[in-house]
Amino acid sequence: MKKTLLTISMLLMAVMAMAQERPRLVVGIVVDQMRWDYLYRFYDEYTSGGFRRLLSDGFSCENCQINYIPSVTAIGHTSVFTGSVPAIHGIAGNDFLLNGKMTYCCSDTTVQSVGSTTKAGQMSPRNMLATTIGDELKTATDWQAKVVGVSFKDRAAILPAGHSADAAYWFDKTALCFISSTYYMTELPKWAVQYNANLAREIKNLKRGTKDDTSTIDLIQYEPFGNEMTVGMAKAAVKGERLGQGKVTDMLTLSFSCPDITGHRYGTHHEKTHAQYIALDKQLADFFSFLDGQVGRGKYLVFLTADHGAANGILQNQDHKIPSGGFFVGKELRDINKYLKSHFRVNSAVSDELRIVDHIMNCMPVLNRRNIEALNLDEQKVKEAIIAYFRQHPAVQHCFDLSAINDASVPALIREKAVNGYNPARSGDIQIVLKPGYYGVGPKIDAGTTHGNWNPYDCHIPFVVMGWKVEHGSTAAEVHITDIAPTICALLHIQMPSGCIGQPVVQITK
């Protein structure tokens, strides 16, 4: 009997030890606007230590899809690290409705900038309603784990790191340095101050030999330097905070924002986009080599994904006889208000500023209910008029009332994505679904691109995991952006985030 009890006790201890075993450091990398096919389009030019190392040493989910609309930056970063969707985590766009007003996703006027005198630091994760991987790691380790977020964009540093992060750092485009906010700290740590001082000297030399009309910020955003300084800040954080050197697992979230900025301006096939990915590959190789030396090869876990993809440019498509076109958001907003006033015979003396549709937010018209009431209009009839109007639009494939989404005659996939993306308190009222190859543009169509729709070019993203306890392999089975967080949490033996709807990818966690 004693021998049996001893055996059971040893087994329980072994299981507990296994459950406690974790890597020294988790690194979550997001490449902003990285289409899945960029893993292979430039493959022959990649080095062995960057993207190729991820694919040759790690496990790749070749069919990772975004399962909501709109597919934009703030939502993507939030969904990766919460395993959730806007309907639950509340980040319904880069800007969305909050208490009836359009609000930037991370805006927080109760906090101040740390590291500069600008307002660029008035940011926090308070508008996010769910926890992240980092929050759960902090909880699982009794808040001993350190969690730090680094990115060029504020939202790409803040939202992935989570509510209880030790710090998030982003680039102030006016002060030209990395900053934080009083949500996290009262002053920058010495290592960050030193990194900014070194960075200032490098930035000073940037414009040498360039045209006088080229701004410093353009050189940072569209050339390899923007990603290079982001890697540099990440390295400084790992060293300065001694990430991966303690008794418990730490976490670094790292987002590369410059590919998105370049893609928007130049498009998916421009040489600047090509050059940026070739340079990013070398920067990743350098960073992985740094982690090998700093933390130990095989002792850290890294995953790489994207917040969204990107459509090929309209002009490029048209040149090759591929159906494509623009939905001119500003013009459409003016036109729909003009149509509604005519349709409902609103007195012509009523000011043009008294709009019935306030915004078209990510292809979602937002009703101004106060004005609808003031004009004594029936809200349901207003919705029906808007839907009928846009269903006749040459760029529109479907249009439906988001509050009656289950009645919409649309493919199940689109319905599911719309349901997941709809947060009644924060989203628009009507969903416009554009035809394939069509997307929202500004006043004119140029060589650049954008994203935000349900289509594969916007929603097919990479998801590769490498390092601690990960066996090499790949799967073509469909997984979702919301499966990333539960997969990482399963590997760490910690609880998945509070709003998580995803499932662990069992081919990785087995």
The helix/strand/coil state of 182 is coil
Active-site residue, 118 included: no
Look at residues 193, 170, 189 and name the one whose alpha carbon lies nearest to residue 180: 170
Q: Are 499 and 84 in contact (CB under 8 A)?
A: yes
d(CA 225, CA 263): 16
Q: What is the DSSP string of 69-131?
A: S---HHHHHHHHHHS--HHHH---SSEEEETTEEEETTB-TTS-EESSSSSTT-B-STT--S-
CA-to-CA separations, 373 to 207, 354, 355, 358, 378, in angstroms, rounded? 55, 12, 12, 14, 8
Which residues, 6+ apart, have CB-to-CB distance to 141 below 8 Å? 248, 249
Please name the helix (run of DSSP H) or strand (run of DSSP E) that holds residue 316, with its range, or none: helix 314-319
Angle between helices 154-161 and 73-82 (to 10 degrees): 20
The helix/strand/coil state of 167 is strand
Exposure class string for 392-416: b at 16+ Cβ within 10 A, else e = ebebbebbbbbeeeeebebeeebbb
| CB neighbours of residue 339 within 10 Å | 16
| CB neighbours of residue 217 within 10 Å | 16
Which residues, 6+ apart, have CB-to-CB distance to 24 below 8 Å? 244, 245, 249, 250, 295, 296, 299, 300
Which residues, 6+ apart, have CB-to-CB distance to 71 below 8 Å? 308, 309, 451, 452, 453, 454, 458, 459
What are the strands, taking DSSP E only, across 316-446?
Answer: 325-328, 357-361, 364-367, 396-401, 430-434, 438-441
**Strands 177-181 and 113-114: what pairing?**
antiparallel
Sign for the CA dihedral angle at 459, 465, 470, 471 comes to: positive
Please name the helix (run of DSSP H) or strand (run of DSSP E) that holds residue 149, with its range, or none: strand 147-151
Backbone angles phi, psi at 434, to 5 degrees: -80, 160
Greatest C-alpha distance within the chain: 94
Look at residues 14, 76, 61 and name the one whose alpha carbon lies nearest to residue 506: 61
Backbone angles phi, psi at 75, to 5 degrees: -65, -45
From the candidates 4, 7, 47, 73, give the one annotated as an active-site residue: 73
Backbone angles phi, psi at 20, to 5 degrees: -85, -15
Indicate which residues carry an active-site annotation: 73
